[in-house]
Amino acid sequence: MAKMKAAMAAVLVMEKEGITQAFGVPGAAINPLYAQLRERQTIGHVLARHVEGASHMAEGYTRARAGNIGVCIGTSGPAGTDMITGLYSAQADSIPILCITGQAPRARLHKEDFQAVDIASIAKPVTKWATTVLEPAQVPRVFQQAFHLMRSGRPGPVLIDLPFDVMQTEIEFDIDTYEPMAVYKPTASRKQIEKALEMLNAAERPLIVSGGGVINADASALLQQFAEIVGIPVIPTLMGWGTIPDNHPLMAGMCGLQTSHRYGNANLLASDFVLGIGNRWANRHTGSPEVYCKGRKFIHVDIEPTQIGRVFAPDYGIVSDAKAALQQFVALAQEWKLAGKLRDWSGWVAECQARKASTEFLRKTNFNTVPMKPQRVYQCMNNAFDADTTYVSTIGLSQIAGAQFLHVYKPRHWINCGQAGPLGWTIPAALGVCVADPTRKVVALSGDYDFQFMIEELAVGAQFHIPYIHMVVNNSYLGLIRQSQRGFSMDYCVQLGFDNINSNEGDVTANGYGVDHIKVVEGLGCKAIRVHKQEEIAPAISQARAWMDEFRVPVVIEVILERVTNIAMGTEIDNVVEFEELAQGAADVPTALAMLD
């Protein structure tokens, strides 16, 4: 046993739990914890410019690698409330992050002290657990419980609020005998897997829907192995994109109202059976259950019992961690295949792949207009960025079009805030991904409004030398909201453009596009390039790579788009409106076909 401040015990527990990195902003009420971090020098720290940014950095850090838990730290009052958006985002997508806040001394909690707020009560709806520690001796065990909860069952975030005097109080604690608590993961039984495979084997046109839970469980290889053994197509959700490579013969496309492929929706609608693994049946994937479920049976495998039946009642439900379930699916499927019990679905696979290869189901990208259409930008990105590229994006037409046109080949190479979709998420999340894996080729994708929301975090990339490429598609509009306003016959309060009085004559910002992102980015210590034509994109990316190597900072490539482009989307998966002509005869068709080789 050793005597130490409670804040030191917290740091030692984090070390034992594998924490080596934190993101945050110091403040008076959290300084006791920072004092112990400084003394130990074992946990790296990135100084954010906004505390919400720190929470999104922690998210990106967690999402980048299996087993990671991002830590974000802030002081009392507004620091905690600023991190609520990050906690909500993490909770919505089942991402474990640990948020630590400072707090006023215990004796002042009821006295409306400066920056004293009941952050634990505020955070409870968007966390697995939120608590204010009132007894110093409880600090190490609260942190132990936090890690246990974040890793057990459906992963998610935890907030620990530490009063100033609690952190400063000395306690007895023996870190040498400390061990992390065993993680709880529900596991499917053999009988459940047998029943599921029997139901699957009775189907004529089955599909697997692979969700973000497969990625969270680090089970993408098992998912692909199972699909290959049984020989049936896979439709990844947006959060499960990368669980099977886009060029895999069994990848049948994404389904949904927005972030989908035409062939993905068509394949789902042609199916008669769906095995969902680690997915939520999110409404942007399904549309209405009446259309999505008609004519097909469903099995739902999920780690969280209350997810099964939440959106619609499946024909069979299994509560299980995705990896635990897939290990058994693989083993049993291999047994059945050797015994000749599995059906042959090769004809159905060929039907799905025929849709994927048909120009009827490919959207056109080969536009040559100036200002550019976004579709052409993504075609250029596909040509410039290889299969090792990690894309980071959050919300808006840029993200929707990115999901329709870009290609992802590996798990954790599409890092997206799925359910919450907060504007401003992209820059800090990309920084968190880069910190988690400095060797990763990271390309962030933003519209101009998402980019402006937390643009100050670029200074973090400059200060800490965190290089990545940020593609900003600028139409000077709230593009998704403008498109949705069509239903109200209006275009109201969504224009971002204005004539910038500081612009030079003829410059894009003097031509109604408003903010000069180049000057802002350079003022924050980073590098930036503006392009207007598709021919300029490849040279800009080459220049960006050279600057990243030379200066080790983020490089922004701003692409000036036409002001109004409507992106394909609809109210049902059988009623997606295609605003642009399809890809018949377009230059991207050979590329798409080559993906199938």
What residues act catalytically? 25, 51, 423, 478, 481
Rounded Cα gap, residues 21 and 97, in angstroms: 12
Contact 540, 531 (CB under 8 A): yes
Q: In 3D, which of 111, 105, 170, 169 has the Cα closest to residue 132?
A: 105
Amino acid type, 23: F
**Distance between CA atoms of 157 and 99, rounded to whole angstroms?**
8
d(C-alpha 184, C-alpha 128), whole Å? 14
Under 8 Å CB-to-CB from 263, ≥6 apart: which residues? 252, 253, 352, 355, 356, 358, 361, 362
Q: Which residue has the tokens 């410039």?
A: 384
For residues 161 and 185, give the distance between their C-alpha atoms in angstroms, rounded to a whole number.
27
Place of tokens 């039984």: 189
**153 in the Ramachandran plot: left (φ > 0), alpha (ψ -120 to 50) or beta?**
left
Decide if 496 contacts 449 (C-beta within 8 A). Answer: yes
Report the C-alpha gap between 269 and 296 in whole angstroms: 9
Amino acid at residue number 30: I
Rounded-to-integer distance, Cα 446 and Cα 261, Å: 20
* DSSP-assigned letter for residue 205: S
- Do residues 59 and 94 make contact, with C-beta atoms less than 8 angstroms apart? no
Give CA–CA dist 321/309, Å, rounded: 17
Contact 314, 308 (CB under 8 A): yes
Dihedral sign computed on CA atoms, order 334, 339, 341, 346: positive
DSSP single-letter state for residue 373: P
Q: Which is it for the CA torsion 579, 581, 587, 589, positive or negative?
A: positive
Q: Is 98 exposed, middle or buried (0-12, 13-18, 19+ CB in 10 A)?
A: buried
Two tokens, residue 218: 């680090």
| DSSP letter, residue 297 | E
The amino acid sitting at 451 is: F
CA 210 → CA 198, 243, 388, 549, distances in Å? 19, 7, 21, 37
Backbone phi, psi, residue 49, to 5°: -95, -15
Distance CA 348, CA 254 (A): 17
Q: What whole-number distance in Å separates Cα of residue 238 and Cα of residue 221?
A: 18
Query: How far from 388 is each of 6, 18, 254, 394, 409, CA to CA, in Å?
Result: 43, 27, 20, 20, 8
**Amino acid at residue number 467:** P
Residue found by looking up tokens 């215990």 in the block: 106
